[in-house]
Amino acid sequence: MAITGASQVLKALEDEGIQLAFGIPGTHNIELYDQLATSKSVRPILVTDEQSASFMADAAWRASGTMACVNVVPGAGLTHAMSGIAEAFMDGIPMLVLGCGIRRDTGKAYQLHDVDQQALAAPVTKGTFRPERGEDVYGTIRNACRLAREGCPGPVFVEIPANLYLLRQPDSAPWQDEKSIIPPISPELLKQCAEVLSKAKRPLIYLGLGAAGAGADLVALAEKLEAPVSSTFQGKGVFPESHPLFLWPGFGAAAPPFARTVAGECDATLAIGCRFGEVATGSYGLTPPAPLIHVDIDPRVIGRNFPADIAVNGDAGEFVRALLPMLTARAKRDELRMQIHSGRAEAAAEIRSPSATGVSPGRLLKRLQEVFGPETVFTSDSGNGTFLAIEGLELDKPGKLLGPMDYSCMGYSVPAAIGAKLARPDIPVIALAGDGAFLMTGLEMLTAASLGLAVAFLVLRDRELAQIAQFQGVAYNRKACSQLPDYDFAAISAGTGVECLRLKTDEDIAPVLEHAKSILSEGRPVAIDVAIDYSRKTYFTRGVVRTTLGRLPWMDRIRFVGRAVGRKIFE
């Protein structure tokens, strides 16, 4: 029996297990929204801006492992959502971007919103699709979702012409899920890996988010090799950070001295599920101890930034499970474990040093974990807040710190917290938003209030674009266009129906967080205006400045240093 294309789309979403569809309805997709209103499993969420819709869908997957959908109208809806789509693309997050297209049955030009959407979406998606016949709508969406999930995940874009939504279409063409088969890892490669790791006196294990599928086997691997473990920023929590062999998120110039020392004493690197990207490596400020074994499901990343002595294209979980029986267990190295323990304790003491002028970021983060528990999901924003969270939070599971990493898009934290809470209503969710990033998407607090979502929105206020202001202060001894105009955060919160608390000093941390917890227990969101003290620069900031300066030609180094020193003396 013929049904509308909108009904076929809804059936495809339901069969894919998609539970959340974020967006804003428009003239081209009102038929779809009418169908969504009848669904018992797919929940449409109205947002204030399509950029937020894509951030919410991104975070929903990061928090729950369930893919979400972004519904956009043609043209402006897509371009508004592009920031979040690109973030998902750069960070390897599966997402269905369900675009709407102009009518293709009228023969008329200059239609409303008419731009080449596939050309816009192609650079930031794994694939773009547009069914030309009604009977192909269902299968097109299913194929797109399969592509989004398989291999290295990422967003996909499907444009449904408006006429296919509106009009009754023939029955769906037969469709069969043809799951891609990942080639098994060759026994010869596994043997080579085992030989290299067995010969190494102290191998280093470096894990990205792609290693998450190996689960508890990663702990068994580290203990069998008695090897220190470092992670990328996205991979934070993939290996439990409370474990005595966990070193630090990173091991180069952007890490504390003890982590650099431990890594420098290693004589091999096993890198799993990582790309050695610019952010995680502190502007490429590290060198993996050779020989390097690089394992990844995406063959394009292996050896791309650092030459791999052994390249293994395959699934992380399969690789670790196959490798473990080939290794001989080593004796526990108490000296190594003590070296890591004392180094991390010293770093933690520095990070949690008290503030004389406001709120210590390290003390705030520690108390947040104590008050809200280990299951809490934190969302961060581009810039200083992310790096503070990476260094200040101790996580034992992946998917607990959601941040915009490789695309590093401002405005992520507030909508991401909403997406995470909708996907995981059973766990606490806390947004760590910079005061500049908040100005981009902070009105989504209205969405949280209208839906009755118990999310805590912490706005870290120093009235600067902190990360850039710090870089400017060090490199130029001058800050240009990075100071923010002040705003009344309490009034903005009140206008969105969210109660606002003020957190001014370290002494206020405990009582304010307990008050916030009581508000959340009533099923209401809460905002906290945090007078954050950014005077202590993160290890990341210090390391990146050193690395970047050291990479410049000598004459330019002298020019940069001389200019900064001269301004400090004379200005």
As a whole number of angstroms, the distance between CA 346 and CA 363 comes to 14
The architecture in CATH of the region 3-169 reads 3-Layer(aba) Sandwich (3.40)
Q: Say which residue the tokens 């108390």 belong to.
A: 367
Q: Is 159 helix (H, G, I), strand (E, B) or coil?
A: strand
Fold category of 187-341 in CATH: Rossmann fold (3.40.50)
As a whole number of angstroms, the distance between CA 567 and CA 571 comes to 5
As a whole number of angstroms, the distance between CA 505 and CA 532 comes to 9
- Give me the DSSP letters along 290-358: SSEEEEES-TTTTTSSS--SEEEES-HHHHHHHHGGGSPPPPP-HHHHHHHHHHHHHHHHHHTPPPSSS
Other CB atoms closer than 10 Å to residue 339's CB: what's the count? 17
Pairing status of strand 292-296 against strand 268-272: parallel
Specify the pLDDT at position 2: 59
As a whole number of angstroms, the distance between CA 144 and CA 371 comes to 41
Specify the pLDDT at position 470: 73
Closest by Cα among 239, 242, 187, 246 to 215: 239
- Give me the DSSP letters along 234-281: TTTTSS-TTSTTEEES--STTS-HHHHHHHHT--EEEEES----TTTT
Cβ-contact 260, 251 below 8 angstroms: yes
Measured in residues, the chain has a length of 571
**CA of 369: how far to CAs of 349, 366, 378, 396, 544, in Å?**
16, 5, 10, 12, 28
Alpha carbon 120 to its chain's center: 23
As a whole number of angstroms, the distance between CA 418 and CA 457 comes to 10
Q: Please, what are the averages of pLDDT over each run of 10 residues along the chain (571 residues)?
A: 81 96 92 93 97 98 97 94 97 96 80 87 97 90 96 96 82 72 88 98 97 96 98 97 98 96 98 96 95 96 96 96 97 97 97 96 98 98 91 96 94 98 98 95 97 98 77 72 87 97 98 98 98 93 86 79 73 68
As a whole number of angstroms, the distance between CA 190 and CA 195 comes to 9
Closest by Cα among 259, 286, 264, 234 to 345: 259
pTM beyond 0.85:
yes
Closest by Cα among 384, 567, 569 to 478: 567
Domain boundaries, the chain: 3-169, 187-341, 354-540, 542-570
> Phi/psi of residue 380, each to 5°?
-125, 175
| 409: amino acid identity, one letter | C
Other CB atoms closer than 10 Å to residue 471's CB: what's the count? 18
| 260: amino acid identity, one letter | R
Specify the pLDDT at position 1: 52
- CATH number, domain 354-540, options 3.40.630.70, 1.20.1250.20, 3.40.50.970, 3.30.365.10: 3.40.50.970
DSSP 42: -
